[in-house]
Amino acid sequence: MEITAAAVKELREKTGAGMMDCKKALTETAGDFEKAIDHLRKKGIASASKKAGRATKEGSVSSYIHGEGRVGVLLEVNCETDFVARTEQFRDFVRDVSMHIAAASPQWVRSDEVPAAVIAKEKEIAIAQMQASNKPAAVLEKIAEGKINKFFEDNCLYNQIFVKDTSKTIDQLNKELIATLGENITIRRFSRFALGEGQKTEKASEEAAH
């Protein structure tokens, strides 16, 4: 079938991939738009894995304020060159991730940053909740593992579903950008501030003092 320029343009805007890559993806999937997106994602992930070991010493530290000053995010994203750090795609990625952090409130960047004690506690709770089911220990262990993965999805930035496009995770979004720009790009760290969060009430403070 004929692959129209409009279809190629739409796929490019959706994925951020190059024009030729989009045309090739549509050709190989017989014009099926969703399959073409999956094809580009898989290609992007493969491309990103080859670049994962490269040093990222450039990038940017940016701030994002949401809700008329009620939520703020400070985010560092690294890349290999200053040239990429100045591109519109990189800046858009930083802005989208900052907005996501403001909305989704992750606790860690990656699952390997979660303290072992936190994981052990979550696993303990998960197994305790299922004790009355009389399921074999091996089954309980498997279910607990699934609950831990869900905990990572809820609390780790890379594992979270992207709030602006629920068809992908932040990790997938990151890898698509790597495929587009041809450099290793990593989210290094962030801080999220919510107005009044963590403050004790005046009464609670007084009780704690006595």
pLDDT of residue 41: 72
Contacts of 120 by beta carbon, 8 Å cutoff, 6+ apart? none
* Spatial separation of the C-alpha atoms in residues 29 and 139, rounded to whole Å: 40
**Which of the two residues, 36 and 185, has the higher pLDDT score?**
185
**Which of the two residues, 109 and 201, has the higher pLDDT score?**
109
Q: What is the mean pLDDT of residues 148-177?
A: 94
Assigned CATH for 1-51: 1.10.8.10
**Which of the two residues, 95 and 11, has the higher pLDDT score?**
95
pLDDT-based confidence at residue 16 (cuts at 50, 70, 90) = low
Judge whether residue 135 has pLDDT over 90: no
* Spatial separation of the C-alpha atoms in residues 168 and 150, rounded to whole Å: 15
How many other C-beta atoms can be found within 10 angstroms of the C-beta atom of residue 85? 19
Residues of the chain with CATH 1.10.8.10: 1-51
Q: What is the mean pLDDT of residues 39-44?
A: 73
Residues of the chain with CATH 1.10.286: 115-154
How many other C-beta atoms can be found within 10 angstroms of the C-beta atom of residue 180? 22
pLDDT of residue 46: 52
Judge whether residue 104 has pLDDT over 60: yes
Which pair of tokens denotes residue 15?
């994925």
Second CATH level (architecture) for the domain 115-154: Orthogonal Bundle (1.10)
pLDDT of residue 103: 95
* Spatial separation of the C-alpha atoms in residues 176 and 64, rounded to whole Å: 23
**Which of the two residues, 29 and 55, has the higher pLDDT score?**
29
Least confident of 80-84, 159-163, 175-179, 201-205: 201-205
Q: What is the mean pLDDT of residues 20-26?
A: 82
Average confidence score pLDDT of the chain: 84
